[in-house]
Structure 1
Amino acid sequence: MKIEINGEQVEIPSNCTTITDLLVHFGLETKIVIIEWNKQILEKSNHDKTGISDGDRIEIVHFVGGG
């Protein structure tokens, strides 16, 4: 399946069916992230309920510490 993540076309495995699966795939499941799915900001509680479809546009913002 092809989706757009942070402005880039990405091919993801067929077992990535939810936002939670996508975060696990990219190793971000333990990070603090903000997800925008098709121009809607998702609550963290909806990550496992939100399905991913071919052509979806997803923005993933995660925080990096430092000084």
Structure 2
Amino acid sequence: METPAVGADRLIKTVENSTRGLKEYRLIVTALELEAFKALKTPLQAGELAERQVKINWGAFLIPDF
């Protein structure tokens, strides 16, 4: 069996980049589904957003992602 011309480091970096991209995509889709951008029409600090999340029924676990 021959050693591939492309090293393992490149494969690992590609997988890591793909995983990061998928996470970012899911974050954006979830934000759209939860209408996060409507809640953020005006800039808010994380604490202010956390207070509002009760009103718009977000799980508290989502707040750090925004």
- Between structures 1 and 2, the one with greater helix share: 2
Greater C-alpha radius of gyration: 2
TM-score by length of 1: 0.28
- Between structures 1 and 2, the one with greater strand share: 1
